[in-house]
Structure 1
Amino acid sequence: MYDICIIGAGVVGANIARELAKYKVKVCLIEKDEDVSCGASKANSGIVHGGYSDKPGSLKAKLCVQGNRMYEQLNQELNFGYRETGSLVLAFRDEDMITLQKLYQYGIENGVGGLKIIDGDEARKMEPYLSKEVKSALYCANAGVTSPYEFVIALTENAITNGVELKLNTTVTGIEKIDDYFKLTTNKEEIQGRCVINAAGIYSDKVASMVGIDDFHITPRRGQYILLDKEENYLANTVIFQVPTELGKGILVTTTYHGNLMIGPNAEDIGDKEDVGTTAEALEQIVNAARKSVPDFNMKKAITSFSGNRPFANQKDWLIEESRVPGFINLVGIDSPGLTSSPAIALKVVEILKETGITFIANPDFESYRHPIIKPKDENFKGDINGTTPEEKMICRCEQVTEAEIIDALHRGIHVQSIDGIKRRTRAGMGRCQGGFCRRRVQDVIARELNIPIKEVTLRGKDSLGLPQRTERKEYIKL
């Protein structure tokens, strides 16, 4: 019997698990996929928002500002990758100025620091490659970028170190309240817990319906992105937004934490929660919209595209509360700025749980530090594909990933045996050739270290048996 069962190992569920590990409570984290961070937490902008976009007094606004200020300390403890860059929201027309003033006022009321409205010339001093059409901009010093999937991995590893149990490839198919506990039926086993936290993202409505709650509906809102080579990262120093629309924060241009230029996302409501494909039409629209902000990026340097589905709920603000079923905690519609807010969401959920009757005693043995997987490389790095030691043997040339880093990633608390799982932890395969050189080498290391047949090393889990051949560059490269 667990004290708390968390459904969903995305950034929200992982933050909650790690926060609960600070107490003497028995916790399990349940995830339907083969790894953590396989949903919206993997495929998003990686932006740590300042907190000026949401209406003062809303849960989104409060938790965004609170979460933003927690990232620096979390990164010092967990080494997942975070950098404060600042952000700009661009105005191109006189009517855009009204929006900028509104966002500025929101930010002041929300307690956001480092805000100011600047003219186009000052914006171009910060960002020399901005369009000459930019008339003014809202600057926020507090915004930044992070590696979202590495954040989730780091949180989960640290939670496991401190006693949380992770159950991967485990799909919850039914939930029954029995007296003072819940019985969770899964595709693998029956799990019992005194409290259940529904952090299932786009599936949160489905999970809630298992206990008879049908008060809300989640629509997947797909956002598509294009990632360009690191050679293009000189084009953006900050996170560059356009004025937001009713569909979201709009098309951005940013440098990712690891130094690629990224543009996107669009926003399209779709019916299929599993549809994370990209389309040539949408990608062309993204390119054209991004050129409005930064005209001169080179699409011949595009290396991949991807998309993710955000959980858009039929309500204006997030829902974070104990439901009418005692002990069942709902987290509904956690879309942007959910990544930014997730550490603060975890604190709020713990406070809710303290009202359920579970005894919370501080864990005196809690270990807050998690060693990084990726080791910084400098001019003295002697890596080579024919290196004689794991520390010197380079498996991925584009990202300079060593065999030692891959071995380290394989022997931590999260069992992973897919090539994509190693890619998210080490960046092997994320470079210019997109795994063309290293994919088979990664596969060999996984098979050897886990002592499994090479055919059991999949690309991305049980639905991708075998290793596909290298694919041709995608259609959007022609744009």
Structure 2
Amino acid sequence: MFRNAGKPILTACPVSPRFIPHSSTNPFEIMKDLIIIGAGAIGSAAARTLAQYELDILVLEKESDVGEVTSSANSAIVHSGYDPVPGSEKAAMNVRGNILYEQMCEELDIDMRKIGSLTIATNDEEVEILRGLEERGRLNGVPVQMLSREETLALEPNLTPEVKLALLAPTAGIVNTFELSVALMENAMDNGVKLNLNEAVTGIRAIEGGYEVTTNRAVYQTRAVVNAAGLFSDEINNFVNPVKYEIQPRKGEYFVLDHFDPNFIRHTIFTVPSSKGKGILVSPTTHGNYILGPSAEFVEEKDDYSTDGETLTQVLATAKKLVPSIPMNQVIREFSGLRAVEKSGHFIIEESLPGFVNLVGIQSPGLTSCPAIAEEVVKFLSNTMEMKKKEDFNPRRRPMVRLNRMTPEERAEFVKKNPKFGNIICRCEMVSEGEVLDCIHRNCGAATIRGVKRRVRPGMGKCQGGFCQPRIIKILARELGIKNEDVRMKSPGSFILMGETK
């Protein structure tokens, strides 16, 4: 099991009936071409890109779902690329990733919108920082435009009247971050990639012709390894690489607001960045909510997802300096996420050993960079193995059914043909039974309450699951062939029900 400060953070538990890792009387499997460790946005993007090639690929993920950690608890921004230091790995990956994003999201039916961002200066010191960012954008090849106070307020009338200048980055966007990893992995699996969930890597050693990877369930042999383990990428590296890395988790805390006014804020609004990150933002989401945050503080534990009143008060105070009229009576949730910051502060994207590709310290703008990083992985692996493209690779995911995007007439016609789409399970987000069933029975399908929530949004609304959660439990139990009390919220052991009362 992975250990942190001497404490186990994952123990072997029964896995979802949807994903039972391979088992054999022989402790060694036939040698794989490639094992990818980690199924967040980075690992899933690598899996999908590498699925284009005739390779036997296995993805190992210690959590109970893909995109369960950093990739689902972030700002969900597609960054334009004006902020990273020119010439750095971050700058190259951010700019290239932004270019690739629209096609990737179109092929995979991921909700992504290029709404642009505004970085706001309210005093002379911030104006100077903003002018430096404008120059960085020019050097990085990113289109940016400096706007006057009047131009800025014309675009966003709810901004603070104290704004002096704003930097507009029109290629910035927002993405459904929950859907991203799922869609990437689903398409990878549609094209032959294998996924094992609840399987933690406990050791790696070099062997003749490749590597031996030991997990809490099996021992594998593989010609190559891609380390995309996020917060634990240092531990994976340190199993085998004489050059050691250290991940320092940086926590960010957020508010989520209900969808109340689609025109309240139309761009992603940033404060000027600091050494800790890109600053506090106020932004719409792809589903019409608004998000405020994040804070930025280093923490000791890699599983510290707590929030606290003092930090959230600071987040709100900073957000209100940007948008004074934020209606806090619309807050429906707070949450936190952890960024995998390597001690050097850099992205580490390298073939550290022959056939061992490290993707370490992929913090912001990692979400934006994932398709570009996947391209780099292909380049590295082509040094180790033959990369022959498949003739039958399909880059497209079967489209999702989204009733809340249909007109009443379209919805009525669709429900006539598919009656289960007329049974509304979640009234806040208008999610039907048909949509829940669809997300369960796809490749990389949902097997937990949170898995369903992140794929099709029941429980994301104002009541936070008060109405729909009992119905989701019944559907999951029925479709997975388990008892209601065996349905989990997320990880093994996170049961909702203790048993029947009558």
What is the TM-score normalised by the length of structure 2?
0.90
Q: How does 1:5-404 map to 2 (within 5 A)?
A: 5-113=35-143, 115-323=144-352, 325-356=353-384, 358-375=385-402, 376-380=405-409, 381-382=411-412, 389-404=419-434
Unaligned stretches of 5+ residues in structure 2: 1-30
Query: How far does residue 312 in structure 1 lie from its aligned partner after superposition?
Result: 0.8
Mapped partners of 2:412, 2:309: distance in 1: 41
In structure 1, how many angstroms separate the alpha carbons of the residues matched to 2:214 and 2:55? 22
Q: Note the alpha carbon deviations across 1:321-369, whole angstroms, 9 max, x for none.
A: 111x32211111111100001100000111011012x111111110111
Structure-2 separation of matches of 1:388 and 1:374: 11
Contact 1:459–1:467 at 8 Å: present in 2 too?
A: no
Q: CA deviation at 1:212?
A: 4.0
410-419 or 32-41, which deviates more: 410-419
Shift of the alpha carbon at 1:95? 1.2
Q: What code does the residue aligned with 2:198 have?
A: N
Q: Percent identity?
A: 43
Taking a change above 3 Å as real, the CA distance of residues 183 and 240 of structure 1, as seen in their structure-2 partners, is: same
8 Å CA contact 1:232, 1:261 repeated in 2 = no
* Contact kept? 1:393, 1:403, Cα under 8 Å: yes
| Whole-angstrom CA distance in 1 between matches of 2:254 and 2:358 | 29
Equivalent position to 1:461, from 491, 495, 502: 491
Amino acid at match of 1:351: K
Q: Helix, strand or coil: the match of 1:103?
A: helix
Q: 1:467 to 1:461 in 2, by over 3 A?
A: farther
Q: Is the 8 A contact 1:374 1:426 kept in 2?
A: no
Tell me the equivalent position of 1:476.
none
Name the SS for the 1:176 alignment partner. Answer: strand
Give the whole-Å Cα distance in 2 for the aligned partners of 1:417 and 1:18: 21
Q: Distance in 1 between matches of 2:306 and 2:132?
A: 35
Whole-Å separation in 2 of the counterparts to 1:379 and 1:240? 33
Q: Does 2:406 correspond to 1:407?
A: no
Q: Distance in 2 between matches of 1:166 and 1:36?
A: 9
Contact kept, 8 Å, 1:419 with 1:442, in 2: the verdict is yes
Displacement of 1:379: 3.0
Aligned residues: 464
Q: Which amino acid letter does the alignment assign opposite residue 342 of structure 1?
A: C
Partner of 2:448: 418
Cα RMSD (Å): 1.7
Change (3 A) 1:218 1:296: same
Give the aligned partner of residue 15 of structure 2: none
Q: Give the match's secondary structure for 1:391.
A: helix
Compute the displacement of 1:374 (Å). 4.0
